[in-house]
Structure 1
Amino acid sequence: MLKSYNNLIKIQKRSYKYFIEQGFEKLKLIKLDIENKYKYKIKTDYFHIKYKKGKYSIDECIIKNKTYTIRIYIPLEIYYKQEVIQKYVKLGEMPLMTNKTNFIINGNKRILLNEITRSTGIYFEKEEKTKNSLCTLIPQSGNWINKLTENGSIYTKINKGELKIPTITFLEFLGLTRKKIIKSLKKDDNKLFYRENLLEKNQNIKLQRLKLNLEYEICNLIYNNLIKNNGNSDIGKIGRNRINCKLFKKYLWKDEEFIKPEDILGGTIYLKNVHFSKTKKKDDIDNLNNKRIRCIGELLEKELEPSINNIFENITLKLKKIKNTSIKSKKYDTNLLIENKFIDETLKKFLSISPLCQLMEEKNPLSETSHKRKITYRAKSSRNMSIREIHPSQYGKICPIQTTEGKNAGLILSFTNNYALSINGFIMTPFYKMLKGKIKSKKGTFLILSEQEKNLKFLPKSLENNIYKETLTRKNQAFIKSKRKHGNYSEISNNQTISIGVSLIPFLEHDDANRALMGASMQQQAINIKGKENPIIDTGIEKEILKSTTFTDVTNKSVLIKFISKKKSIMSRKNDNKLITINNKSKYEKIKRNITNKTKNKKKKEKIIISELIKKSNQKILTIKEFYKQKERWMKKGEIFKNESRRKNNVTLQLGKNILTGYISWEGYNFEDAIVINKNIIDNEIFTSMYLKNYRTFLINNKLGKVRITEKTPLLNIKTIKNIEKNGLGKIGKEIKKNSIIIGKYLKNKSISKKENLILNLILENKVKDTSVKIKKKCEIIKTKIYKYQKIYLISMMTIEKRSLETGDKLSGRHGNKGIISKILPAEDMPYTPDGKILDIILNPLGIPSRMNVGQMFESMLGLAGKNLKERYTAEIFNSNENNITSEFITYKKLIEAKKKTKKNWLFNPNNPGKISLFDGRNGKSFYQPITIGYPYILKLIHLVKDKITARLIGPYSIITQQPLRGKSKKGGQRIGEMEVWAIEGFGGAYNLQELLTLKSDDSKNRTKTLNNIINGKNLPKPNIPHSFLVLIKEMQCLCIKVKIYKDL
């Protein structure tokens, strides 16, 4: 039972903490007690493992490209006669999770995704094609045991291989007697089954014995790998509990965590009943009852297990080589017994290469939090359609909307807002207890598993108090109508069934699920802009998202903020913090005064936090933590004292800007979701974003010559070096133009005196070579650092690049209404409202009914009312419909209120509610029909045209078709597809089309001549037959079709 559940990354912290405390349990199980020929022993104390912090802090690891680690020490005791040597030995270094649940690996922030897998245990299913029944026994590690019914017989397979063994033969070899097997099978009425099919069919005894000899040899190999080696048949406590619940009684073999022959026999009997008598039901493999989550701690423990075994094997080998004299003189270094490379290399490799460990998304706070709450299927063999589909058991546990688009759809999922995990890794969701139709919220929330939901009735959250009224009720993963008084539990919130990304969409009930998916992913792709602000309409979860990200600093305990700045924060706290977290405001103020008065003359514990002003981001986007200046301020536990907002007490999620929008077609420029914007947006830098880039160069003196950094660089003009100071480095804070030099550097060649190198002196005409660092784009230098390693110097220069909106950039709303900027109009040409306000953006109204995301209309109109009333609203994603209060009613009510208070009669027209008369800025005339306008929340996405656009002069070609490769990363060419050919045909560009399809594509003979002809000023060669057409002819000839080319027709 939980009283509250608001921490969005609590599960990740708990899992890593469990790994630190109990993850090295394998060390305790392995007994290291060795004695060599010199009669001395070595033992380990497994219960006193120590941890120490690494050399570098989090900020130092990011700056210096190091790994944020923790050092592990284990106590060793060496006994020789009556002497004992005791010492803590370093076991290795392990990456340490930060407070925001991410790792720092080589200076990069990385996170571990949660993995969803099938739980250990036994499962029964039926194959649709063959109609055979299948039983699968899944251990934690090792081989899967499969039993298959085929032609009335039961066979055993290992790991779904082709080799089949009769089950009775397999059970006999595992130690069960023929009597025990037959006695167990005789309990069933179907005697024909076990007599004719399970027992041997062959009447010829000789042939039967030969067959059995082969089967026993196979069984012997399986026995050695399966039963004798217990490590390959470990089912754990979870598997033992699930097998006992299905086949036996719960109290049987409680402490037995390995597969027993009785488990295989019980599975055989259960499989027989599933296939023939049908008294038992098959399992639903896609049900969450049969799946569990592997979190960070369990994943690290699984990777660490083989390296720990290697450490102890290595210790035993080294102990045998120790000499007797080294122990007597006590000169032997015990640190040499353990090699640190096993743990260090294993974990670093896993956190760098594994597909589960990814670079953390830092576009905005939402993308970071959503990335940490993702779950994925790792096994490639289980990526069928049934896994990708939405299952009823996912209700309240896994979001049915948010997933990736493309080939991984349904494989990468997101947790819901209020999910929780049991100790065994099964997903739970909270509910309120109901008694006689009334919700008992004071008792707290109850976490319920999927298997506990049987025969229970769950009601949605509603304010309806009529206990006799019938409502939709969920029972046994289906919806029925039932009275409220018969309900057992009630949901705690309306957004309990969706993820945090989807729950940020206001008026979600009016949107199609596909557009809601796009809206959630678009919000995660929003980047930081200059003019960002709070949304007029939010959903109430924004503040909780901020607390779990690296974009904010949160107090761990109740503290008194004494000093705060961009780089430094000083806070003091009292030892007893329990009194401070009291909800009663009057008592809270008295306690605060008493603590401050009593501790004036006493020394208080002060904590100094030093943070970097500008931090490196994985997406190279600039974010600066802002703060509100105040002399002294008391803050409770969990409050934000630094965030990325720029106003007083403004601690909410900011992704975009509320701008005046009109839904109108404009001269065809907003066809197919294209967007027309006002030039004032660019001039006021509302959607301007900042990007960071590092420029690096080395100073190395070698045989080629000496490297110098100076302002007076030879071979350069004065104009090119005007931004450089006397030391040869660019001026900090100065704006530098494109293709300018920021580091003046040249290489002075050494004179070559040897006779055999006289040819090089003749080739090297200039003794000075310019190696200056130039910038490709307009930017501003903000930081310069110099690092020294032996005789090598590294100069690092950080620059900021401003990017304003331009044609081709991508904008989006919160409802999946995305589009590309097609036209930037001057302010005087844009439509304007009756009070003279000019529209900032024009969207196509045809994109609303076709996409079925009507929620953006309610957001836009309610935003218009909130802007005029200077109010902000918190809208529920699903309305309760109490007293017929709908989204339409709330929106129109606020528009009428705004009309009365502001005396702007045009805000609400009863004949056309939500629409007003707009005027054309070009001629001042009003449009023929009223138009919908409002203030939606618009986002700037990371898909910018500067990063997408590409061109090539030369590049690689495909071997088969001889056409240019595809994609910017491969230096590919422009794609001329069917639509592009039609477009050029429509305008009659025959020669342009011929050039695109031949000389610029796959006319391999003439494309080499083209460059020579251009250089020599000659005409282009006549196009030849494209190579792709010759490939087509060869393919047709392979089909025995005779094809010829006639050139002279």
Structure 2
Amino acid sequence: MLRNDGNEGMSTIPGFSQIQFEGFCRFINEGLREEFHKFPKIEDTDQEIEFNLFVERYQLVEPLIKERDAVYESITYSSELYVPAGLIWKTGRDMQEQTVFIGNIPLMNSLGTSIVNGIYRIVINQILQSPGIYYRSELDHNGISVYTSTIISDWGGRSELEIDRKARIWARVSRKQKISILVLSSAMGLNLREILDNVCYPEIFLSFLNDKEKKKIGSKENAILEFYQQFACVGGDPVFSESLCKELQKKFFQQRCELGRIGRRNINRRLNLDIPQNNTFLLPRDVLAAVDHLIGMKFGMGTLDDMNHLKNKRIRSIADLLQDQFGLALVRLENAVRGTICGAIRHKLIPTPQNLVTSTSLTTTYESFFGLHPLSQVLDRTNPLTQIVHGRKLSYLGPGGLTGRTASFRIRDIHPSHYGRICPIDTSEGINVGLIGSLAIHVRIGRWGSIESPFYEISERSKEAQMVYLSPNRDEYYMVAAGNSLALNRGIQEEQVVPARYRQEFLTIAWEQIHFRSIFPFQYFSIGASLIPFIEHNDANRALMSSNMQRQAVPLSRSERCIVGTGLERQTALDSGVSAIAEHEGKIIYTDTHKIILSSNGYAPTTISIPLVIYQRSNKNTCMHQKPQVLRDKCIKKGQILADGAATFGGELALGKNVLVAYMPWEGYNFEDAVLVSERLVYEDIFTSFHIRKYEIQTHVTSQGPEKITKEIPHLEAHLLRNLDRNGVVMLGSWVETGDILIGKLTPQTANESSYAPEDRLLRAILGIQVSTAKETSLKLPIGGRGRVIDVRWIQKKGGSNYNPEMIRVYISQKREIKVGDKVAGRHGNKGIISKILPRQDMPYLQDGTPVDMVFNPLGVPSRMNVGQIFECSLGLAGDLLKRHYRIAPFDERYEQEASRKLVFSELYEASKQTKNPWVFEPEYPGKSRIFDGRTGHPFEQPVLIGKSYILKLIHQVDDKIHGRSSGHYALVTQQPLRGRAKQGGQRVGEMEVWALEGFGVAHILQEMLTYKSDHIRARQEVLGATITGGRVPNPEDAPESFRLLVRELRSLALELNHFLVSEKNFQITRKEA
């Protein structure tokens, strides 16, 4: 029995978007002020005028536009930044102060994202090598260890100190150039006596001090010249000057040696120094201390650094990225103000602060950052899980980071310090595997950019368990038990020996030696992996696929929560922001599909109208829709759910459907992961989803006049224009098919006689009929775009110039039932393609007559080792019969052996007793049952595993991928069909395909593929006429166009290539011209 002492063992999972919110708040509250304080006083060349920003009084104005309007009008949801500025005339001691507009700063919304140009964008976290000093050892070509120390600056620049076989110490400032440590120390301002007095091993320095070295360090000027000659790779004998000294100071000591606050802290800690934190540059004292540690490494003292340990990494969050961009914008503003002041003085104009400051610097800097930076990505809004997981990604890629082709396996691999901080399961597949990770659900980002994870401290002095956040450099000194709050509660003393982690090793330790323990079974996983029930019974590769495929699930028209879950479904749905939540308590006085009106019961009773999201398109073309869940005249509390969003039900995440599945072969239709489904899923809209596509067109002002939106379009058939209103725009509610006109548009063109078609010129010459001088450029519905028009929006950009055209957007909704070719998947990496849809009467049925909904291949389980789907399947059947829902924490085998199996069998046995169906649990083959063939009525030979599984419909759908080509465009050079579905292209027949056709001896099919259907111009023109008239299809005798292209390219290399035809009758040789 678990003993609960008050709130002991209780913890709250932090908000899943909290990391993004905290980062943006830190930028607004601290980052802006830090960068503003760096803004200097600006003076003109004569030092008569001085420009200042009074940064303590900056103001951010609340935006006037709403988020939803910013999306529809394609503008940025931002706040205007105002700062008081002063202009001081030093000659007259006069000052003019005005409030100037600096620019717009994009704001973060309640989802942790930003809206830039109408697009939801999110800034993901980057993980970088932390600035500081690191010691490592490598073997040279003789097998001898070479010790080096690497100093990493704040921006990622690297300098190295190394000690060679002769105990000489070198500083390597670039890959090729290295100098003596004595020269570097002298160039930094130390003489020989100061160097020897401040090191622990002066005899090593004296051992390689020869006459040549003494000359180099005889004076600071000589040392600077030697260092400059090596650093800048300058030949000859440079002459010492102040400019040379300033250049060296700027390029090396201020750029390469800037450590930043984090680097200063790390170097102080590593080298046992006490240099103040505000001194962020590399000092001679740092270099000498680093050399002492390096010599100690040579003699076996000290420990080497693990570069992949998380204590040597730092997180570059949205706060750091936005602050860097703000500092860059202020530098640009400074240059612009300085240039404007000098120009005004030169032209004898009187400047004012508002005339000097322009908002272009800040606005364009942030627009280019959100639009071009690799860490600023378009928010994936396929379903609620996708958008909340996107903000918790970690990337090793990006500026200052790694690349997918140069990252080693050691960096991609799981490290013991990732425990409880970075999910070992959730990563991308492909070239970026291990480089794109996901944060564990409990972590937070510390002040110094470290990933901190919570643990409960076990103390004999305190009776209450205290939760402590540990950074990676702290927890390796403690013994951390890998149990959760139930099995390791102090009330349970049976477990005297527990698994624990200590100094990157996983050990089994006595309970009395434990310092900390985990707080939650899901502490080590990301959100996606935490939603997989029985994840401990799955292979890690399949769990990885499952966590990725859950983000590809399409919201269904009627959501259904899972029978078997993990307990995180509710918080995931709440933190995603797709549901409408009551912000005040009160009473519902009105509700419909568009809004909910609430009467609050505060000190001042008010009426609050809550608008609902109705058929809103996501950037993955899925449908975001909210359904009211409250009734009129009902009282609600603060935080209660008012309306469910897409893929949520009752406030819980609901990505799929609970369907009856059987694991058995069926006539080969589930071979190789194919799935056989019942037509019930189609007729009852079980897996039906809505998809919304956006089509847009712009009207420009051309040199011949403005383009015109109209219904009066000549030369078009009437049925193509049937859905247009009198303005030439498609009507709401219209059903449109492929090729229909959505927006009728005419573009004026020059009335040039040669531009008319021959029949137009004939009409003008004979009848004098004036032919239209406008070209038809209407918006047509492309292939595969049939559906119902649900919205039409006219967007007029401000100004109305050629660069701000009028835009019309048409939104079309498609209803997609499940069909052959669609991809479905479970939550255990068991994915497949629909191969056949069977009538209900032909599907296998249970002993109570219930037909099965899906048939999976049983061979997909043993080799993939994702046994968790078997537990979920059987427990789901019991839950369906008992009308129960289960929330199972992972790793329940820590309580007793075979805990999962015992739970499933006990629930099946209880379901069998309550429903009086003995086939639900048969002791001879528990979990299996004898089922019958729907076609014959005979039972199958072997008992079959049946149950209720939670199946997802993924966004990889056949409607988006099916493609065929009969005729289309050809490439201009090769005359071969284009490539791709969007261009109505063909399918390439490559070298291996030709081999396959040759192997089957289908010579005529092969000839058609390479000539008629490809690039034989004359043959493909004649074959159409021959097909229509019923004549004989001509034989392509000359070479195709691609061969002729090859001949021409060889001729450009002065190589002549000819080909000949040999007659079958008289073997006459005929030369053909290419």
Q: TM-score, normalised by structure 2?
A: 0.85
Q: What's 1:783 paired with? A: 791
- Does residue 267 in structure 1 map to residue 290 in structure 2? yes
Q: Quickly say closer, same or farther: Cα 1:956–1:397, change in 2 above 3 A.
A: farther
Query: Would the aligned equivalents of 1:659 and 1:938 in 2 still touch at CA under 8 Å?
Result: yes
For residues 93 and 720 of structure 1, what CA distance do their matches in structure 2 show? 45
Query: Would the aligned equivalents of 2:177 and 2:231 in 1 still touch at CA under 8 Å?
Result: no
Q: What's 1:587 paired with? A: none
Q: Quickly say closer, same or farther: Cα 1:216–1:681, change in 2 above 3 A.
A: closer
Q: What's 2:499 paired with? A: 472
Q: What's 2:321 paired with? A: 299
For residues 29 and 807 of structure 2, what CA distance do their matches in structure 1 show? 41
For residues 763 and 951 of structure 2, what CA distance do their matches in structure 1 show? 58
**TM superposition shift of 1:606:** 5.4
Task: Name the SS for the 1:141 alignment partner.
Answer: coil
For residues 417 and 225 of structure 2, what CA distance do their matches in structure 1 show? 46
For residues 312 and 747 of structure 1, what CA distance do their matches in structure 2 show? 48
**TM superposition shift of 1:303:** 2.1
**TM superposition shift of 1:976:** 4.7
For residues 520 and 910 of structure 1, what CA distance do their matches in structure 2 show? 34
Decide which of 861, 865, 887 is 2:900's aligned counterpart.
887
Task: Name the SS for the 1:545 alignment partner.
Answer: helix
Deviates more, 1:966-975 or 1:828-837: 966-975
**TM superposition shift of 1:1010:** 3.4
Q: TM-score, normalised by structure 1?
A: 0.86
Q: Structure 1, residues 662-719: CA drift from partner, whole Å, max 9, x if none?
A: 1111111111101111122112222122121233345678787997766676555554
Query: Would the aligned equivalents of 1:780 and 1:799 in 2 still touch at CA under 8 Å?
Result: yes
Q: What's 1:112 paired with? A: 123
**TM superposition shift of 1:389:** 0.8
For residues 439 and 889 of structure 2, what CA distance do their matches in structure 1 show? 20
Q: What's 2:855 paired with? A: 842
Query: Would the aligned equivalents of 1:428 and 1:449 in 2 still touch at CA under 8 Å?
Result: yes
**TM superposition shift of 1:894:** 0.8
**TM superposition shift of 1:29:** 3.0
Q: Quickly say closer, same or farther: Cα 1:705–1:124, change in 2 above 3 A.
A: closer
Query: Would the aligned equivalents of 2:459 and 2:465 in 1 still touch at CA under 8 Å?
Result: no
Deviates more, 1:356-365 or 1:219-228: 219-228
- Does residue 684 in structure 1 map to residue 684 in structure 2? yes
**TM superposition shift of 1:316:** 3.1
Decide which of 1, 4, 29 is 1:21's aligned counterpart.
29
For residues 173 and 702 of structure 1, what CA distance do their matches in structure 2 show? 65
For residues 190 and 318 of structure 2, what CA distance do their matches in structure 1 show? 41
The one-letter code sitting in structure 2 at the alignment partner of 1:664 is: M
For residues 629 and 1002 of structure 2, what CA distance do their matches in structure 1 show? 62
The one-letter code sitting in structure 1 at the alignment partner of 2:210 is: E
Decide which of 133, 149, 162 is 1:122's aligned counterpart.
133
The one-letter code sitting in structure 2 at the alignment partner of 1:539 is: T
For residues 1022 and 789 of structure 2, what CA distance do their matches in structure 1 show? 43
Deviates more, 1:387-396 or 1:468-477: 468-477
Q: Structure 1, residues 912-969: CA drift from partner, whole Å, max 9, x if none?
A: 111111111111111111111111011111111222233454566799x998776556
Q: What's 2:540 paired with? A: 513
Task: Name the SS for the 1:301 alignment partner.
Answer: helix
Q: Quickly say closer, same or farther: Cα 1:754–1:948, change in 2 above 3 A.
A: closer
For residues 758 and 306 of structure 1, what CA distance do their matches in structure 2 show? 56
Matches within 5 A, 1:224-243: 224=246, 227=249, 231-232=254-255, 233-243=257-267
Matches within 5 A, 1:688-703: 688-697=688-697
Q: What's 2:421 paired with? A: 397
Decide which of 358, 375, 383 is 1:356's aligned counterpart.
375
- Does residue 66 in structure 1 map to residue 75 in structure 2? yes
For residues 692 and 537 of structure 2, what CA distance do their matches in structure 1 show? 39
Query: Would the aligned equivalents of 1:811 and 1:940 in 2 still touch at CA under 8 Å?
Result: yes
Q: What's 1:917 paired with? A: 930
The one-letter code sitting in structure 2 at the alignment partner of 1:309 is: V
Matches within 5 A, 1:853-932: 853-884=866-897, 886-932=899-945
The one-letter code sitting in structure 2 at the alignment partner of 1:58 is: E
Q: Quickly say closer, same or farther: Cα 1:228–1:824, change in 2 above 3 A.
A: closer
For residues 372 and 380 of structure 1, what CA distance do their matches in structure 2 show? 20
Task: Name the SS for the 2:394 alignment partner.
Answer: strand
Query: Would the aligned equivalents of 1:289 and 1:426 in 2 still touch at CA under 8 Å?
Result: yes
Q: What's 1:626 paired with? A: 627
Deviates more, 1:372-381 or 1:631-640: 631-640
Decide which of 767, 771, 774 is 1:767's aligned counterpart.
771
**TM superposition shift of 1:238:** 1.7
- Does residue 43 in structure 1 map to residue 70 in structure 2? no
Query: Would the aligned equivalents of 2:27 and 2:319 in 1 still touch at CA under 8 Å?
Result: yes
Query: Would the aligned equivalents of 1:370 and 1:501 in 2 still touch at CA under 8 Å?
Result: yes
Task: Name the SS for the 1:831 alignment partner.
Answer: coil
Query: Would the aligned equivalents of 2:73 and 2:795 in 1 still touch at CA under 8 Å?
Result: no
- Does residue 11 in structure 1 map to residue 35 in structure 2? no
**TM superposition shift of 1:608:** 4.4
- Does residue 489 in structure 1 map to residue 488 in structure 2? no
| Structure 2: gaps (5+ residues) | 1-8, 233-243, 765-769, 1049-1056, 1068-1074
Q: What's 2:1070 paired with? A: none
Decide which of 141, 147, 154 is 1:133's aligned counterpart.
147
**TM superposition shift of 1:775:** 2.7
Task: Name the SS for the 2:561 alignment partner.
Answer: coil
Q: Quickly say closer, same or farther: Cα 1:326–1:712, change in 2 above 3 A.
A: closer
Q: Quickly say closer, same or farther: Cα 1:741–1:964, change in 2 above 3 A.
A: closer
Query: Would the aligned equivalents of 1:435 and 1:485 in 2 still touch at CA under 8 Å?
Result: no
Task: Name the SS for the 1:124 alignment partner.
Answer: strand
Q: Quickly say closer, same or farther: Cα 1:980–1:869, change in 2 above 3 A.
A: farther
**TM superposition shift of 1:1008:** 5.2
For residues 702 and 119 of structure 1, what CA distance do their matches in structure 2 show? 54
Decide which of 289, 296, 299 is 1:277's aligned counterpart.
299
**TM superposition shift of 1:569:** 4.5
The one-letter code sitting in structure 1 at the alignment partner of 2:171 is: T
Query: Would the aligned equivalents of 1:956 and 1:965 in 2 still touch at CA under 8 Å?
Result: yes
Q: What's 1:806 paired with? A: 819
Q: How many residues align?
A: 999
**TM superposition shift of 1:506:** 0.4
For residues 23 and 755 of structure 1, what CA distance do their matches in structure 2 show? 64
The one-letter code sitting in structure 2 at the alignment partner of 1:165 is: I
The one-letter code sitting in structure 2 at the alignment partner of 1:477 is: Q
Q: Quickly say closer, same or farther: Cα 1:1031–1:21, change in 2 above 3 A.
A: same
Decide which of 368, 373, 398 is 2:387's aligned counterpart.
368
- Does residue 383 in structure 1 map to residue 410 in structure 2? no
Query: Would the aligned equivalents of 2:733 and 2:788 in 1 still touch at CA under 8 Å?
Result: yes
The one-letter code sitting in structure 1 at the alignment partner of 2:270 is: K
**TM superposition shift of 1:449:** 1.0
Query: Would the aligned equivalents of 1:470 and 1:483 in 2 still touch at CA under 8 Å?
Result: yes
**TM superposition shift of 1:141:** 3.3
For residues 320 and 706 of structure 1, what CA distance do their matches in structure 2 show? 43
For residues 454 and 782 of structure 1, what CA distance do their matches in structure 2 show? 58
For residues 954 and 754 of structure 1, what CA distance do their matches in structure 2 show? 29
Matches within 5 A, 1:88-103: 88-103=99-114
Q: Quickly say closer, same or farther: Cα 1:63–1:401, change in 2 above 3 A.
A: same
For residues 755 and 116 of structure 2, what CA distance do their matches in structure 1 show? 49
Query: Would the aligned equivalents of 1:433 and 1:445 in 2 still touch at CA under 8 Å?
Result: yes
| Structure 1: gaps (5+ residues) | 574-595, 1035-1042
- Does residue 525 in structure 1 map to residue 532 in structure 2? no
Query: Would the aligned equivalents of 1:558 and 1:636 in 2 still touch at CA under 8 Å?
Result: yes
**TM superposition shift of 1:739:** 3.5
Query: Would the aligned equivalents of 1:467 and 1:484 in 2 still touch at CA under 8 Å?
Result: no
Q: Quickly say closer, same or farther: Cα 1:388–1:431, change in 2 above 3 A.
A: same
**TM superposition shift of 1:1014:** 3.7
Q: Quickly say closer, same or farther: Cα 1:948–1:718, change in 2 above 3 A.
A: closer
Q: Quickly say closer, same or farther: Cα 1:123–1:671, change in 2 above 3 A.
A: same
Q: Structure 1, residues 371-430: CA drift from partner, whole Å, max 9, x if none?
A: 110010122366222111111111000011111111111111000111111101100111
Q: Quickly say closer, same or farther: Cα 1:41–1:182, change in 2 above 3 A.
A: closer
Query: Would the aligned equivalents of 1:468 and 1:485 in 2 still touch at CA under 8 Å?
Result: no
Q: Quickly say closer, same or farther: Cα 1:199–1:357, change in 2 above 3 A.
A: same
The one-letter code sitting in structure 2 at the alignment partner of 1:394 is: H
Q: Quickly say closer, same or farther: Cα 1:399–1:1027, change in 2 above 3 A.
A: farther
The one-letter code sitting in structure 2 at the alignment partner of 1:50 is: Q
Give the aligned CA root-mean-square deviation in angstroms. Answer: 4.0
Q: What's 1:732 paired with? A: 732
